[in-house]
């Protein structure tokens, strides 16, 4: 469309304010009704964890309302803090003796907020400030947790009082293993480690200013770009339309799918196009799990690449499973890495995944418990491997994500023969794994023998 068919109606200047850029957070309340608002709510307490970027806000409840159940409110307070005043905590959950507040705790739905900003329109000017973070506030019911902890503590105290003498307990000594840099980084990304760090950071009390207060108004004024700051904006945004478009497009990741076959949070086409062909194929296979050759051709950013060149490159990144391509195991589990759940080393994960892929060249479906028995991996790791190439059927068996593609095996006979030779060379190792499992005693036999011993001793 030519410019004269779509004329510019009006130009609005845009200014960037950096005064609050390091302290501006957007709070969302995703579980509240659209008609509800907390603008006029009374905040009785607020605190933050600056390092982990957590916020906790307590809103007062109107206990005098006709819709408030006073009896239930008192029961909740007793359940959380107990009946005996001598045993109450120094800082009770509800000071008034009834449930008089509701608490909201934050979580971060989006880690990367570099492309988000808060804008204000005033006097036909747009003033924008980059966000430091986006936070979702969800209601928490910590008083139920306090009730459970207090009940367990009381039961333990009663058991200790009834015990006449202290029983001897067996103590197991464990020595911590030395970990390399990669293992340490993987551990620090685990859920348990992050949760521990969040729980260890103390809460810092804060002052809450209502939206109509003088302090709140002074902070809102910082969203506007002052006259001294505007002088440098024109030069900073003096770029061409192509350069501006390039700044808007993420060069690392995109929130949209490359194709319906690819999951979200994959590498963008912009980034993919800058890679060598081998790296393009690795990333496509890694994100899409199982693909036909035609699907790989369609997903490549440069459609002009010769088919022969793609066929030569594919075996360096993937393996052929009954006419479909799957990424190689050492790309999923590079050397020095560990599995997500139990920290199984990459060498064991690659060996188990290669065995599972080999089995899919022989049969249509696999059973998870049999694979766990042969590979000697935890159930979570087997589930992780199967999810990367297969789908769960109604009979609890697992089959490949795509049906066999006999056309490719027929048309590309040379590549198919080479791939078959590769699996044939690995067959002896896989057969040894199965033989070792058959020679080992069954779990049911061991459990039966233990049961017989207990019965004879009884």
Interval 183-204: pLDDT, tens: 777 776 676 777 777 778 888 8
Q: Backbone phi, then psi, for 81, in 5-degree steps?
A: -110, -10
> Is 104 exposed, middle or buried (CB count within 10 Å of its CB: 0-12, 13-18, 19+)?
buried
- State residue 30's pLDDT score: 84
Share of the chain above pLDDT 70, in %: 76
Cβ atoms of residues 378 and 372 within 8 Å: yes
Q: Backbone phi, then psi, for 61, in 5-degree steps?
A: -100, 145
The mean per-residue pLDDT over the stretch 332-361 comes to 88
More confident residue, 38 or 10: 10
Model confidence, pTM: 0.44
User: How sure is the predictor about 44, in pLDDT bands with cuts at 50, 70 and 90?
Assistant: confident
Of 250, 247, 307, 302, whose CA–CA distance to 276 is shortest? 302
Is the per-residue pLDDT at 232 higher than 60?
no
User: How sure is the predictor about 326, in pLDDT bands with cuts at 50, 70 and 90?
Assistant: very high
**How big is the chain by its Cα radius of gyration, in Å?**
31
The long-range contacts involving 421-429, CB below 8 angstroms and separated by at least 24 positions, are 422/319, 423/358, 423/361, 426/354, 426/358, 427/358
């Amino acid at each position: 469309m030519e410019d004269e068919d779509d004329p510019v109606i009006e130009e609005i200047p845009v200014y960037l304010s950096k005064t609050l850029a390091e302290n501006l957070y957007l709070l969302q309340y995703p579980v509240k009704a659209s008609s509800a608002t907390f603008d006029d709510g009374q905040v009785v307490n607020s605190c933050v964890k600056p390092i982990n970027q957590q916020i906790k806000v307590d809103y007062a409840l109107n206990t005098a309302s006709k819709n408030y159940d006073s009896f239930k409110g008192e029961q909740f307070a007793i359940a959380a803090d107990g009946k005996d005043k001598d045993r109450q905590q120094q800082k009770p959950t509800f000071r008034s003796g009834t449930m008089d507040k509701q608490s909201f705790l934050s979580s971060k739905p989006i880690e990367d907020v570099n492309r988000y900003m808060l804008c204000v329109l005033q006097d036909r000017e747009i003033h924008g400030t980059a966000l430091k973070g986006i936070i979702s506030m969800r209601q928490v019911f910590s008083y139920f947790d306090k009730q459970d902890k207090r009940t367990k503590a009381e039961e333990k105290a009663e058991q200790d009082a009834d015990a006449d003498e202290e029983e001897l307990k067996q103590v197991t000594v464990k020595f911590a293993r030395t970990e390399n840099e990669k293992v340490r980084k993987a551990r620090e990304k685990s859920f348990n480690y992050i949760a521990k760090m969040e729980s260890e950071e103390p809460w810092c009390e804060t002052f809450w200013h209502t939206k109509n207060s003088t302090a709140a108004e002074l902070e809102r004024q910082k969203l506007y770009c002052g006259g001294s700051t505007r002088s440098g904006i024109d030069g900073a945004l003096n770029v061409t339309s192509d350069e501006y478009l390039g700044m808007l497009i993420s060069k690392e990741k995109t929130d949209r799918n490359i194709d319906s076959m690819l999951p979200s949070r994959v590498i963008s086409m912009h980034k993919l196009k800058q890679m060598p062909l081998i790296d393009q194929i690795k990333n496509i296979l890694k994100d899409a799990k199982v693909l036909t050759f035609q699907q790989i051709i369609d997903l490549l950013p440069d459609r002009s690449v010769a088919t022969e060149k793609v066929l030569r490159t594919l075996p360096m990144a993937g393996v052929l499973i009954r006419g479909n391509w799957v990424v190689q195991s050492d790309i999923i589990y590079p050397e020095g890495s560990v599995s997500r759940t139990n920290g199984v080393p990459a060498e064991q994960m690659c060996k188990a995944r290669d065995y599972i892929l080999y089995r899919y060249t022989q049969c249509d479906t696999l059973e998870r418990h049999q694979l766990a028995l042969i590979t000697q991996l935890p159930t979570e790791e087997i589930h992780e491997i199967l999810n990367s190439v297969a789908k769960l059927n109604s009979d609890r068996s697992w089959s490949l994500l795509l049906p066999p593609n006999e056309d490719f095996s027929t048309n590309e006979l040379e590549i198919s023969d080479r791939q078959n030779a590769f699996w044939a060379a690995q067959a002896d190792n896989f057969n040894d794994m199965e033989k070792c499992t058959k020679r080992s005693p069954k779990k049911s036999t061991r459990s039966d023998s233990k049961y017989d011993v207990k019965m004879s001793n009884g």
